[in-house]
Amino acid sequence: MSAPFYKYGLFNDEVSLIVAVFIGLGFGFFLERAGFGNGRKLAAQFYFTDMTVLKVMFTAIVTAMVGVYYLSIFGFLDLSLVYVTPTNLVPQITGGLILGIGFVIGGYCPGTACVSASTGRYDGWAYVAGLFAGILFFGEVFHLFEKFYTSTAMGKVTLPQLFHLPYGLMVFLVCIMALGAFAAAEWGEKKMAAKKED
Amino acid sequence: MNELTTTRHNELIDPIVHVWGWEIPVYLFLGGLVAGMMIIAGYFFIKGRDEGHECVCYQVPLIGLFLLSLGMLALFLDLEHKAYVWRVYTTFKIKSPMSWGSWILLLVYPALLVNFLLNVPAWIGDRLAFLKIWSQKILAIKNIKRHVGKVNLVLGIMLGIYTGILLSSLGARPLWNSAILGVLFLVSGLSTASALVHMIARDRAESEMLARADNLFLTIELFVFALFFIALLSSTEVQIQSAMLLLTGPFAAVFWVFVILMGILIPLFIQNLSVSHRIKHTPVAPIMVIVGGFVLRLVLVQAGQYSHYLNAHFLK
Amino acid sequence: MTSPQQADGFAPKPYWNPYLSGIGLGLVLLAAFVIMGRGLGASGAFSSVVAYGVQKVAPEHANANAFYAEYLGDGTANPLKDWLVFEVIGVFLGGFISGKIGNRVKGKIEKGPRISSRSRLIYAFLGGGLMAIGAKLARGCTSGQALTGGALLNLGSWAFMISVFIGGYAFAYIMRRQWT
């Protein structure tokens, strides 16, 4: 085991910030390459005209998931040291629904809004301003629903644990699912394009 | 009654020096910027690029005077005994960089003024008619533009180097105590000045030439940084520790991200593409260079105050 | 249609193939796991900035608030010297560089043809606010939860991701005037 490098003390906290900028740089670069600095392209996902969001997201998830799987079974990456957010099922589902609604209204998610703003889109800047306002609002009324926020705490639960499946099989199933989603997305896009021509 | 203490009882120097806040970095930055602008204007005069009134070398002096005065104001704000500021000019100490600096600045002002008078902009000349008369008198002198150019060049280089020497003469701060600091500040001043003058230049060819010059200065700056660190790292443990303050220590994130990456590497990359007409030109790269130049001064002043001979173990 | 960019010979280049950008994004995420032992994020950085701002304005109020306190740390370090804050600086830079190379940096508003610019900006602001609340409830946004947790097969992240799509599709019809 030699990774995660940071957890094995290869560099200090200060240097980790420099690493952060470079990782963010790659993140922002590929987001923009995919067209995620454009709110219309992102929102098109919800009107079935352009399924780029789904394609990019699932490709990214599958790539990273398969990479993590192989690196961990080869003994290079210590998976127990990789941070996994604990699950609070109900608040997370609620948050997801709110976030989805906000996505269609605002046109971005926090990460893509940064890319949109840095490529000069004014709606991206308005969105970022909204983010600050929303967080401030959340912070100020936090005490009202702190109980809800911490409800249904399940600790760290992963899908293989939940379904009692081997890790490798779960990875395989997600890959199959992603391939199915890609096929459906391509088919849907063609269908929508044909409908437009009519 | 005065309390008897021997040492380490000054809130400004214990546990680390933090005597200098934002004022000195602002002054060093603006001083370097104006120095770079004078060198550029001087070069244009000597090269005879001053035909017509479009040459940016006629816009430099007014902006230079303004920026330098802002810098002097910052410096003045930093003074503990403001009423005694005139005393600096009652003496000249050959070994004191402060003294040198004060006198250089005293020469820079008239030099910029003469440069300004070579071509008084209409909006000022119409209101202050006597400036036009002076301007005509000065222009009557033979070869005046070449002379102004030479004076600009020499004073610019002196001012640029002096902003670094001011810090490096402080032997008690191992990070600053490097002769390369003068060169570093000069080159950084040149790169920020090229970026600024590039943005204000009206002539397209001139503007493009300055963008190219900026790329050159940024590249040189990277090499000077390398030399600066090699010199520190190959010295004693104290110097190594002070270099580590910037390389991996408490100032590393700001230094690498805001000075090296955002202040040099990214603008260099973008400007390289735009001068070769591969992408559209926008003022983002030059602005990044200028901000990076300021953060460089800020971080060097802060880290320098942090670096110390006695607590050189602080990183371990 | 001729935009000013095309007039001076700098037409925006087309976006990359989504699968190619997806692989790139996945490799960046994998690098984050391998180098840092954590995933990507975005909303956390904004929380740090807000918590820092509140602390500057009203220090006692900020320290008494459990939500802000989480981002303020123990007071020994500047809250802005945070991993996610620096990562988001990188996102801005990376997006800018990519947009710049592709001639896609341009001051404009992305919207459908049936909505005014002003309404679009108001919607963007409201959407951002709503998204912030959702992301805070879910302990992360599309990058922190869906991408990162998705790749780690985290239960909460997958539940979150599915609800994002449900919420989006449920509201898409209401918002159709903005985009189509």
b/e burial code for range B9-26 (CB count within 10 A of at least 16 → b): eeeeeeeebeebeebbbb
Spatial contact of B306 and B178, defined as CB atoms under 8 Å apart:
no
pLDDT one-digit tens code per residue, A24-48? 999 999 999 999 988 888 888 888 8
Q: What residues does each domain of chain B span?
A: 14-311
Does B261 contact C at CB distance below 8 Å? yes
Residues 151-190 of chain A with CB under 8 A from chain C are 154, 156-162, 167, 170-171, 174, 182
Confidence (pLDDT) at B313: 54
pLDDT at residue A17 tops 60: yes
Radius of gyration of chain A (CA): 20
Residues 226-265 of chain B with CB under 8 A from chain A are 248-250, 252-253, 256-257, 261
- Report how many helices (DSSP H) and strands (DSSP E) chain C contains, helices first: 10, 0
pLDDT one-digit tens code per residue, C59-71? 888 888 888 888 8
Q: Which residues of B touch C83 (CB under 8 A)?
A: none
The predicted model gives B42-60 an average pLDDT of 81
Whether the CA torsion B16, B19, B21, B24 is positive or negative: it is negative
Of A5, A127, A130, Cβ closest to residue C34: A5
Confidence (pLDDT) at B258: 94
Confidence (pLDDT) at B1: 42
Spatial contact of C155 and A163, defined as CB atoms under 8 Å apart:
no
Count of other CB atoms within 10 angstroms of residue A11: 16
Confidence (pLDDT) at A62: 95
Task: For residue A143, give the DSSP letter.
Answer: G
Confidence (pLDDT) at C2: 38
The residues near B258 (Cβ < 8 Å, ≥ 6 apart) are: B291, B292, B295, B299
pLDDT one-digit tens code per residue, C73-89? 777 778 888 999 999 99
Burial of residue C7 (CB within 10 Å: 0-12, 13-18, 19+) is exposed
Confidence (pLDDT) at C19: 93
Chains contacting chain B through 3 or more C-beta pairs under 8 A: A, C
Comparing A21-30, A188-197, B96-105, B304-313, which segment has the lowest mean pLDDT?
A: B304-313
Confidence (pLDDT) at A173: 94
Count of other CB atoms within 10 angstroms of residue C109: 18
Check CB contact under 8 Å for C93 and B266. yes
Radius of gyration of chain B (CA): 21
Nearest CA in chain B to A15: B248
The predicted model gives B41-62 an average pLDDT of 82
Residues of A with CB under 8 A from a CB of B: 11-12, 14-15, 17-18, 21
Q: Which residue has the tokens 């996945």?
A: C26
Tell me the C-alpha distance between B164 and A141, whole Å.
51
Confidence (pLDDT) at C5: 45
Q: Specify the DSSP element, H or E, that contains C75.
A: none
Confidence (pLDDT) at B140: 79
Confidence (pLDDT) at A198: 67
Confidence (pLDDT) at B316: 44
pLDDT at residue C124 tops 50: yes
CA B63 centroid distance within chain: 14
Please, which residues bridge with residue A87 across strands?
Answer: A155
Shortest distance, CA C102 to any CA of chain A (angstroms): 8
Check CB contact under 8 Å for A85 and C146. no
Q: How confident is the model at residue A169 (pLDDT cuts 50, 70, 90)?
A: very high
Encoding tokens for residue B171?
């032997």
pLDDT at residue B310 tops 90: no
Q: Specify the DSSP element, H or E, that contains C136.
A: helix C117-137
pLDDT one-digit tens code per residue, B142-166? 788 888 889 999 999 999 998 888 8
Check CB contact under 8 Å for A85 and C42. no
Spatial contact of A92 and C7, defined as CB atoms under 8 Å apart:
no
Of C10, C81, C97, Cβ closest to residue B266: C97
Let me know the angle formed at the C-alpha of B254 by B17 and C75, rounded to the nearest 5 degrees.
65
Burial of residue A129 (CB within 10 Å: 0-12, 13-18, 19+) is middle
Residues 116-135 of chain A with CB under 8 A from chain C are 116-124, 126-135
Q: In chain A, what percentage of residues exceed pLDDT 70?
A: 99
Check CB contact under 8 Å for C156 and A88. yes
Q: What residues does each domain of chain A span?
A: 95-150
Would you say how long chain A is, in residues? 198
pLDDT one-digit tens code per residue, A101-130? 999 998 898 999 999 999 999 999 999 999
Q: How confident is the model at residue B10 (pLDDT cuts 50, 70, 90)?
A: low
pLDDT at residue B104 tops 60: yes
Encoding tokens for residue C39?
């995933």
pLDDT at residue C4 tops 50: no
Confidence (pLDDT) at B178: 85
Q: Which residues of A touch C152 (CB under 8 A)?
A: 65, 68, 82, 84, 158
pLDDT at residue B311 tops 60: no
Confidence (pLDDT) at B312: 53
Count of other CB atoms within 10 angstroms of residue A177: 12
Whether the CA torsion B83, B84, B89, B95 is positive or negative: it is negative
Shortest distance, CA A34 to any CA of chain B (angstroms): 19
Of C8, C86, C93, Cβ closest to residue B253: C86
Check CB contact under 8 Å for B280 and C8. yes
pLDDT one-digit tens code per residue, B285-304? 999 999 999 999 999 988 88
Shortest distance, CA B300 to any CA of chain C (angstroms): 18
Q: Specify the DSSP element, H or E, that contains C87.
A: helix C83-101
Tell me the C-alpha distance between B311 and B202, whole Å.
52
Mutate to test the interface with B, among A11, A12, A14, A118 (most CBs of B within 10 A): A14
b/e burial code for range B72-96 (CB count within 10 A of at least 16 → b): bebbeebeeeeeeeeebeeeeeeee
The predicted model gives A158-162 an average pLDDT of 90
Confidence (pLDDT) at B16: 60
The predicted model gives A183-196 an average pLDDT of 87
Higher pLDDT, B243 or B93: B243
Of B174, B167, B171, B168, give the one whose Cα is nearest residue B242: B174
Confidence (pLDDT) at A28: 95
Q: In chain B, what percentage of residues exceed pLDDT 90?
A: 34
Spatial contact of B30 and B71, defined as CB atoms under 8 Å apart:
yes
pLDDT at residue B200 tops 70: yes
Confidence (pLDDT) at B283: 87
Q: Convert A71-128 into a string of H (helix), E (strand) and C (coil).
A: HHHCCCECHHHCCCCCEEHHHHHHHHHHHHHHHHHHCCCHHHHHHHHHCCEHHHHHHH
A4 cis-preceded (ω within 30 degrees of 0): yes
Tell me the C-alpha distance between B198 and B286, whole Å.
8
pLDDT at residue C103 tops 50: yes
φ and ψ at residue A94, rounded to 5 degrees: -60, -50
The residues near B20 (Cβ < 8 Å, ≥ 6 apart) are: B78, B301, B305
Burial of residue B287 (CB within 10 Å: 0-12, 13-18, 19+) is middle
pLDDT one-digit tens code per residue, C6-58? 445 678 888 999 999 999 999 999 999 999 999 898 888 999 999 999 988 88
Q: Phi-psi category of A107—alpha, beta or left, where left has phi over 0 and alpha has psi -120 to 50?
A: left
pLDDT one-digit tens code per residue, A67-85? 999 999 998 898 888 888 8
Which alpha helices (H) appear in chain A, and where do they start and end?
13-34, 39-44, 52-73, 89-106, 110-118, 122-141, 146-149, 159-163, 167-197
Q: Phi-psi category of C58—alpha, beta or left, where left has phi over 0 and alpha has psi -120 to 50?
A: beta
Mean per-residue pLDDT of chain B:
84
Q: Which residues of C touch A98 (CB under 8 A)?
A: 130-131, 133-134, 137, 167
Mean per-residue pLDDT of chain A:
90
Confidence (pLDDT) at C8: 58
Q: In chain A, what percentage of residues exceed pLDDT 90?
A: 55
Tell me the C-alpha distance between B293 and B263, whole Å.
7
Confidence (pLDDT) at A27: 95
Check CB contact under 8 Å for B280 and C103. yes
pLDDT at residue B190 tops 90: yes
The CATH number, out of the four listed (3.30.160.270, 1.10.3470.10, 1.20.1630.10, 1.20.58.480), of the domain defined by the range B14-311: 1.20.1630.10
Shortest distance, CA A114 to any CA of chain C (angstroms): 6
Tell me the C-alpha distance between C55 and C61, whole Å.
7
Number of Cα atoms under 13 Å in the Cβ half of residue B195: 30
Nearest CA in chain A to B250: A14
The pTM score is: 0.90
Q: Which residues of C touch A89 (CB under 8 A)?
A: 155-156, 159
The predicted model gives C131-136 an average pLDDT of 92
CA B165 centroid distance within chain: 11
pLDDT at residue B7 tops 60: no
Chains contacting chain C through 3 or more C-beta pairs under 8 A: A, B
